């Protein structure tokens, strides 16, 4: 059973471009969380999705950021018109049910030039 | 404002010494978790504490949940160089389904 897969591992974008980060949950996991981490800091919650539904997006910036978890395929975190301040490591975590253990992917390191 | 405050943020000690890392909050949590994160990787769960006053041991690591379920500690006995890493506490605030993290403790064990 493969773990949580995130791709790409590294993504370089120029200011103004779009970044699309993908997260494939473990088999049977329908709950997906996205977190952002700056160097030497903890993880900041962004959004929680449960198959096709956004449950909590209280940590997501109101503009330029969006997330989806379609019925088929990976969860996508999309950042439009990236700025240098978007540079960070983005992690997704998934679990089977609400009280289940959370498993993290290895993250996508986004660098905005 | 940080919901979970970890201290210290940085700790560098010699191999063989003992250490304690703290995770404090003014809020009550239904459970608290401790993670360890290696460079370039996602956090890996070490333990979950659920009951106030609970103590859990994982080899040389001892985890405690405060009686009021507002704080937790991680104690490492006879630290080894392999214990080096970023230690994060995380908790689910009551009524919320998301996990919030402390800012982490960067632990360095010197040979």
Instruction: Point out the residue among B48, B98, B104 whose CB comes nearest to the CB of A56.
Output: B98
Contact A33 B101 (CB under 8 A): no
| Tokens representing residue A102 in the block | 């959370």
Contact A56 B43 (CB under 8 A): no
| Tokens representing residue A65 in the block | 């950021």
Contact yes or no for B33/B18 (Cβ under 8 A): no
pLDDT tens digits for chain B (111 residues)? 568 999 999 999 999 999 999 999 998 888 899 999 998 899 999 999 999 999 999 999 999 999 999 999 999 999 999 999 999 999 987 777 788 999 999 999 999
A45 close to B (CB below 8 A) = yes
% of chain A exceeding 70 in pLDDT: 98
Cα-based torsion angle of the residue sequence A70, A91, A28, A103 in order, rounded to the nearest 10 degrees:
-170
Q: What is the pLDDT of residues A66-94, one digit of tens each?
A: 999 998 889 999 999 999 999 999 999 99
Min Cα–Cα distance to chain B from A35, Å: 10
Contact A43 B101 (CB under 8 A): yes
Please, which residues have CB within 8 angstroms of residue B72's CB and are 6 or more apart in sequence?
A: B22, B23, B32, B34, B49, B63, B64, B65, B66, B89
Rounded Cα distance, B104 and B88, in Å: 5
Chain B neighbors of A33, CB-CB under 8 A: 98-99
Instruction: Point out the residue among A41, A101, A109 whose CB comes nearest to the CB of B45.
Output: A101
């Amino acid at each position: 059973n493969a773990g949580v897969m995130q791709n790409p591992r590294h993504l370089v974008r120029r200011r103004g471009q779009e970044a699309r980060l993908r997260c494939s949950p473990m088999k049977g996991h329908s709950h997906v969380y996205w977190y952002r981490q700056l160097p030497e800091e903890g993880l900041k919650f962004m959004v929680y999705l449960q198959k096709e539904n956004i449950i909590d997006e209280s940590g997501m910036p109101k503009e330029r950021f969006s997330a989806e978890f379609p019925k088929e395929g990976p969860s996508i975190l999309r950042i439009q018109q990236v700025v240098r301040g978007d540079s960070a490591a983005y992690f997704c975590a998934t679990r089977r049910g609400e009280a289940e253990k959370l498993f993290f992917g290895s993250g996508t390191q986004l660098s905005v030039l | 404002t940080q919901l979970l405050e970890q201290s210290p943020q940085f700790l560098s000690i010699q191999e063989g010494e003992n250490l304690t890392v703290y995770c404090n909050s003014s809020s009550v949590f239904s459970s608290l978790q401790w993670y360890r994160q290696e460079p370039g990787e996602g956090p890996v769960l070490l333990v979950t504490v659920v009951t106030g006053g609970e103590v859990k041991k994982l080899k040389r690591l001892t985890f405690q949940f405060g009686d009021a379920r507002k704080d937790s500690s991680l104690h490492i006995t006879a630290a080894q160089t392999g214990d080096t890493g970023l230690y994060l506490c995380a908790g689910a605030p009551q009524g919320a389904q998301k996990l919030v993290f402390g800012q982490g403790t960067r632990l360095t064990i010197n040979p």
